[in-house]
Structure 1
Amino acid sequence: MHVKRAVVGIVLTSVAVVQGDLCGQGSTNVGGNVYCQAVKAIRYDKVGAAGSYKDIVNMAPDGTCTSQPKQFSGALSPLDEELSLHFRGPIHLKQIAVYNLSTTVPGKRSASIAQRRHQHHLFHKTREPAEVVDGDKEKRQYVTATIDGKVVSWLNNYSGTPVAPAASQNPVIVTATINGQVVSWTNNWFGPSTPPSTTPASPAALSATRQASTSILSTSRQTSYTTFTRTATTTAVPSAQPAGAYSVPVPQVAPPPAPIPVAPASLSLAPAPAENAKPEQPHATPSSQPAAGNSGSGVYQRIGYYNSATQTLKNLVFLGNYGGESGSSGVFDFHYGASLAYTGTDGCHGATSPQILSDKVIPSDKEIIVMLGEKCAENSACGYTRPGTVAHHGFAGADKLFLMEFSMPADGTSGFNGDMPAVWLLNAKIPRTLQYGNPECSCWKSGCGEFDVAEALHSGSKFLKSTLHTNKPTGDSDYIMRPTDKPLKLAVIFKSANAGIQIEVLPDSTEFKTRLTTDEIDTLCNSINEKAVSHV
């Protein structure tokens, strides 16, 4: 592992000098890894490239895995697919916040989307979730939505102007991501001229409809997120209504005011058969901002949050490779090893249900995986998942923001992964199939994606390096100083406008608010002296 990394480090150094790193000011070699200068920001540009990877479609009981080619393209592909966020000890997590970007243009309104994995024992790994954008042969299409944590489907039979609302009813701003495009509109639809039946559809009928769907609609404003809060003496309680329950009444949602362009044809959405909807913290999406792509003002909406001091957890879940342990969720077998499972409060063992991570240091060689609170449903964007594993959605989209606060205290251990903390992102398909084991049972080897945010490459290292593992790999020999004595606040920003990824050290005063404008983020980034920025 170290020999291979040494070679990569030297190659990257020669390339990165041309691209704008700080290695021209000098470098040193430690344990076969090249380190140049300490920086406050590492900024990647034009990282995406079209390609394909081997998407796992079956994991047989005898340990044989089947895959098929998965094509991808886009500014940040394949890292615009669902990602999982990973932490390896020793690390003390203080805060985590995840955001999606919402932007609009005149005549069009927008919203945000919400929805990862990594191998570090010997290699690095990442992969991408399938995107459902196929068109129907007919004009009408089935629409699948995740509302209040539940997947529901209905036939898109809306084809006219909505009925005017009664004067007594207040309009509501609706935001949604439809076939990968973010939109928002005023909810001015309050039902057809003939009242619909109030009898809820059967689970079987909804399941069949869901399997036939050709669009995925994720609502930002119309999604209620699981929230955990407990004191040091109470026990975390999982959501009382798991995803997949369909008999819950929901508010009616108006179709967008104009057809939404999709491939291959435009689509006007019928109102959902509705579910009670509220975001992590309700707010209306601004309707007068410039177009998407981070080329103008926009709003990052927070879709998940964790605070160790207050023991607050909102729409996130902590997982680990602890499947099959006594008192744990998930499964274990001798072909694939331990699957994903919920982690206990100490982050070192499995649990039967979601728990809040304690305000303590995660020790060396222990790994925490963070995903969304929403479970994967059959035929969802999660793609294939290992039978019996605990499968949750990752963080999807080409424009997303991760804020985190952590320290990495030295624990003096040595040996495999001893005193080698790391933060990285994986294509979420990797942990949902096989993160550690037979490389033919994971898409990592074929390039579905991994992004190392900040990784110590040898025991006791005070230097944190970044590397990109996709079909267009690259990395940086400049480094961020490891925060051993006090917490560090860090941002990881995915920007589709320049196909870029930015790692930014933030001021200690930075607040992980429920909404952050792109202007606020740009101001934070621009406050860093250019002499402390490495360009890749």
Structure 2
Amino acid sequence: MRYSLAAGAILAASVSSVVGQDCAGSQLLGGNWYCDLIESIIYGGFPTSGTYNGVKSFSQDGQCEFGAVNFDGPLGVFGEELSVHLRGPAHLKKLAVYSTGGSSNSKRSESHAHAHAHGHAHAHAHARARRNPEPEPLMVTATINNEVVSWEQSALPTVPPAGPKGKAAVNGDDGVEVTATIFGQVVSWLQGGPAASPTPAVAAAAAAAPGGASSGGDDNSNHESSNPTTPHEKQVSPTSSPKSSPKSAPGEVAAGTWARQAYYDASSGTADGLVFLNHMGGSGSGVFDNVNGNSLSYASKDGKSGSSSPQVLDDTLIEDDNEIVIMSDKKCNNDCGVIRPGTVAYHGWSGNNKVFVAEVDMPLTGKTGFNADMPSLWLLNAAIPRTNQYGSCSCWKGGCGEFDILEVLDSGNKRCKSTIHAVSSGGDSNYFDRPTDKTVHVAVVFDGDGKKAHIKILQNFDYSGSLSAQQVQSLTEQAPKAASFMLGSS
């Protein structure tokens, strides 16, 4: 963020100055300490209740008032609505957002690769009651010969179909033991041997299956205090040497299917369940004034200017210091709290169990100057851009939440840091490789059940219409080069 990056760099530097000195082989670059290359990190120790200083009013003349906002949940403020932000130089190839509960947009998005100008849908595919419903197929995710496969099963499995690419699973005369997740329950049966009929566990899972997709996400409503207080002071407490930090066990993620809520594929021009915005208010959409500057606006196809209507981002490089803001396609309708008058306002993604996965690269440009050759991928409490992301009238200083995923802190650096800015802040001096010459897939898992957040670099990801609990679990498993950070630790 332009406004917070300076503060963010100072915070990251202050954290690094303590941690880096305890790290064998650490390097000081651009005022920041860098320890070891990592491919995953786990954050824990989120304050589960408290208050932050939020915007209570935003007048037409640009003045705002603040007051205490309560939060309550296993991940603190990060259970609230989040928006996705990407600053160039960067190239976003794919993006998907998943969550437990609610319906998936996957079937609609895959059948409508948006070729028209506006290119994004304005409604989620909610489950509707039908007078004569047909039987819903079972989505089975199974491990056969150590290979994870999925298929739609219209009835209880007596002979499950072959795995992907037509490969049948064969394991001798005794058959193959299949472990599958059916409506969130792990069951097993012997396939291809004497006991080919489903086990009682399979039947029980089917009997307990819901009639349709559940509606709504996690219950994560805010409760605003009627007695305003001063902002909750940020506490930056770095860990000791990263080499001595134990690898946290990921724990069990929420059971059941994690449905895809939003999807973008640059190569096909597909955008579903999301909208592309930027900070060009007054150019086609949004507003501009001399007090708060530019509001949010719809982004043009190349991301360089504003637009009068939603556009699908082209398969193109986002240039140095240009920023794209991505939110859900659910427009605010007096249900987003306080927003800046005249801004383009959409909901973010809420809930304590959610996954963001992006395919991105961040090439070197050799440019210098303010925010030049300093790409960043991060998440914000969606209330921040809906008010004034780069001014004083937002809840950012009050601790409502920023989650830096991959952030380059000085021009031309090939190392990316991750840092949290919230009511309890901090970050690790270990670093991720900046993807300069090829794309990587970066997954961020907010695991409310485990009270942890995870970042993991992947070489491949299929961006399917849903994820099983086992697939999400694999995203929370630490990579060989890993770190962990407990907020509020000393």
TM-score (norm 2): 0.69
**Corresponding residue to 1:348 among 288, 297, 304:** 304
Deviation by residue 1:425-480 (Cα, 9 ceiling, x = unmatched): 0000010111112x2x1111111111111100000010000000011111011110
Tell me the distance in 2 between the aligned counterparts of 1:355 and 1:344.
Answer: 6
Deviation sequence 1:27-60 (CA, Å, 0-9, x none): 1101101111111111111223422122213212
Tell me, which stretches of 5 or more residues in structure 2 are unaligned?
Answer: 133-151, 155-180, 187-217, 219-250, 486-490
Identity among equivalent pairs (%): 39
Q: Which residue in the other structure is 2:459 paired with?
A: 507
1:489 is aligned, of 434, 441, 452, to 441
**Corresponding letter in the other structure for 2:413:** S
1:329 and 1:40 map into 2 onto residues whose CA distance is 39
Secondary structure of 1:79's aligned partner: helix
- In the alignment, which residue of structure 2 is the partner of 1:79? 78
In 1: Cα distance, 2:109 partner to 2:473 partner: 30
In the TM superposition, what is the alpha-carbon distance from 1:377 to its structure 2 partner?
1.1
Contact in 1 for aligned 2:58/2:338 (Cα 8 Å): no
Of residues 185, 188, 196 in structure 2, which corresponds to 1:289?
Answer: 185
What SS is found at the alignment partner of 1:229? coil
Does the 8 Å contact 1:49/1:471 carry over to 2? no
Task: Identify if the C-alpha distance between structure 1 residues 296 and 343 changes in structure 2 by more than 3 Å, giving closer, same or farther.
Answer: closer
* 1:115-194 pair list within 5 angstroms: none
Is the aligned partner of 1:399 residue 2:353? yes
| Aligned equivalents of 1:220, 1:514: Cα separation in 2 | 10
**C-alpha deviation, 1:14, in angstroms:** 3.8
In 2, distance between residues paired with 1:27 and 1:302? 40
In structure 1, which of residues 353, 377, 391 is the aligned counterpart of residue 333 of structure 2?
377
Corresponding residue of 2:264: 306
1:368 is aligned to 2:301: no
Change (3 A) 1:74 1:92: same
Using a 3 Å threshold, how does the CA distance of structure 1 residues 341 and 253 change in structure 2: closer, same or farther? farther
**CA distance, structure 2, for counterparts of residue 3 and residue 526 of structure 1:** 31
Query: Structure 2 vs 1, CA of residues 411 and 8 (structure 1 numbering), >3 Å: closer, same or farther?
Result: closer
Deviation at 1:25, TM superposition (A): 3.1
Distance 1:490 1:353 in 2: 29
Aligned position for 1:466: 418
Decide whether the 8 Å contact of 2:343 with 2:386 is kept in 1. yes
Cα distance change of structure 1 residues 370 and 25 upon mapping to structure 2, 3 Å threshold = same
Is the CA contact (8 Å cut-off) linking 1:2 and 1:31 kept in structure 2? no
For 1:470 and 1:8, how far apart are their aligned partners in 2? Answer: 13
- Name whichever of 25-34 and 517-526 sits farther off: 517-526
The residue that corresponds to 2:274 in the other structure is 316
Aligned: 1:415 with 2:369: yes
> CA RMSD, aligned part only?
3.1
What is the match of residue 191 of structure 1? none
8 Å contact 1:10–1:34 — kept in the other structure? no
Unaligned runs of 5+ in 1: 18-22, 102-111, 113-218, 244-249, 255-281
Contact preservation (8 Å) 1:49, 1:472: no
8 Å Cα contact 1:2-1:32 kept in structure 2: no
Alpha-carbon spacing, 1:237–1:297, altered in 2? closer, same or farther (3 Å): closer
Number of equivalenced pairs: 371
Helix, strand or coil at the partner of 1:522 = helix
C-alpha contact 2:20 2:26 (8 A) present in aligned 1: no
Structure 2 CA distance for partners of 1:299 and 1:287, relative to 1, 3 Å: closer
Q: Retained in 2: the 8 A contact 1:454–1:480?
A: yes
Within 2, Cα distance between the matches of 1:520 and 1:242? Answer: 27
Q: Give the corresponding residue for 2:469.
A: 518
- What's the counterpart of residue 388 of structure 1? 342
Q: 1:41 to 1:237 in 2, by over 3 A?
A: closer
Tell me the residue number matched to 2:9.
Answer: 5
Which residue of structure 1 aligns with residue 290 of structure 2? Answer: 334
Could you tell me whether the CA contact under 8 Å between 1:91 and 1:421 is conserved in 2?
yes
Amino acid at match of 2:470: D
Q: Distance in 1 between matches of 2:292 and 2:478?
A: 47
Mark the CA change 1:453 to 1:252 in structure 2 (over 3 Å): closer, same or farther: same
* d(CA) in 2 for partners of 1:392, 1:251: 27
Which deviations, in whole Å up to 9, do the C-alpha atoms of 1:109-141 show, x marking residues without a partner?
xxx1xxxxxxxxxxxxxxxxxxxxxxxxxxxxx
Show CA shifts across 1:119-167 (max 9, x none).
Answer: xxxxxxxxxxxxxxxxxxxxxxxxxxxxxxxxxxxxxxxxxxxxxxxxx
CA distance in structure 2 between the aligned counterparts of 1:329 and 1:90, rounded to whole angstroms: 24
| Partners of 1:242 and 1:322 in 2: CA distance | 25
Give matches, 1:14-29, under 5 Å.
14=18, 24-29=23-28
- The secondary structure found in structure 1 opposite 2:444 is strand
* Contact 1:294-1:496 within 8 A present in 2 as well: no
What is the SS of the residue equivalent to 1:95?
A: strand
Comparing 335-344 with 44-53, greater Cα deviation is found at 44-53
Output the amino acid matched with 1:39.
I
Residue equivalent to 1:44: 43
CA contact (8 A) 1:407 1:485 kept: yes
Q: CA 1:6/1:463 → structure 2, altered by over 3 Å: closer, same or farther?
A: same
The residue matched to 1:25 in structure 2 has which SS?
coil
C-alpha separation in 2, matches of 1:222 and 1:314: 7
Distance in 2 between residues matched to 1:53 and 1:527, nearest whole Å? 31
| Local SS of the residue matching 1:477 | coil
Alpha carbons 1:46, 1:75 under 8 Å: kept = no
The answer as to 2:117 corresponding to 1:235 is yes
Aligned-pair distance for 1:528?
2.3
Work out whether 1:57 is the aligned partner of 2:61: no
Q: Look up the SS of the partner of 2:15 in the other structure.
A: helix
Paired amino acid for 2:402: E
Name the aligned partner's letter for residue 292 of structure 2: Y
Question: Are the counterparts in 1 of residues 414 and 434 from structure 2 also a CA contact under 8 Å?
Answer: yes
Decide whether aligned partners of structure 1 residues 222 and 468 sit closer, same or farther in structure 2, where only a CA change above 3 A counts. closer
Q: Determine the structure 1 residue equivalent to 2:103.
A: 220
Aligned-partner Cα distance in 1 for 2:297–2:8? 31
Contact 1:55 1:70 in 2 (8 A): yes
Deviation sequence 1:190-236 (CA, Å, 0-9, x none): xxxxxxxxxxxxxxxxxxxxxxxxxxxxx5269997886345xx533
